[in-house]
């Protein structure tokens, strides 16, 4: 797996990878992460990855973290 680059963001860590004829967009916040895989043939250049990780796509991913954190908290509370 090769790191293409990082996208600075104040609320999460965003890393772009190339691996096995796919690009991976990995978004991490606290102890939760989301990874999106995009076949290389879907894009004309790596620079398009940076265009994808803007606006509504990133807003949706960040909003999704709340639900993921709630699910994990609920599951951990059942262990008590």
User: Which pLDDT score is estimated for 55?
Assistant: 86
Mean pLDDT of 28-57: 94
3 half-sphere exposure, CB direction, 13 A CA radius = 6
Domain that holds residue 47: 2-78
pLDDT in tens, 45-73: 988 999 999 889 999 999 999 999 999 99
Mean pLDDT of 34-44: 96
Neighbours of 2 (CB within 10 A): 7
User: Which token pair is 76?
Assistant: 């951990």
- Provide the 3-class DSSP secondary structure of residue 65: helix
User: Which pLDDT score is estimated for 54?
Assistant: 86
Q: How far apart are CA 38 and CA 74, in angstroms?
A: 31
pLDDT greater at residue 29 or residue 80: 29
* CA-based nearest residue to 34, from 49, 15, 20, 50: 15
How many domains would you assign to the chain?
Answer: 1
Percent pLDDT > 70 in the chain is 100
């Amino acid at each position: 797996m090769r790191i293409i680059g990082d996208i600075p963001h104040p609320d999460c860590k965003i890393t772009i990878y190339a691996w096995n004829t796919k690009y991976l967009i990995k978004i991490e916040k606290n102890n939760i992460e989301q990874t999106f895989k995009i076949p290389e043939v879907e894009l004309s250049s790596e620079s398009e990855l940076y265009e994808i990780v803007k606006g509504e796509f990133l807003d949706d991913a960040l909003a999704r973290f709340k639900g993921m954190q709630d699910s994990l908290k609920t599951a951990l509370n059942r262990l008590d």
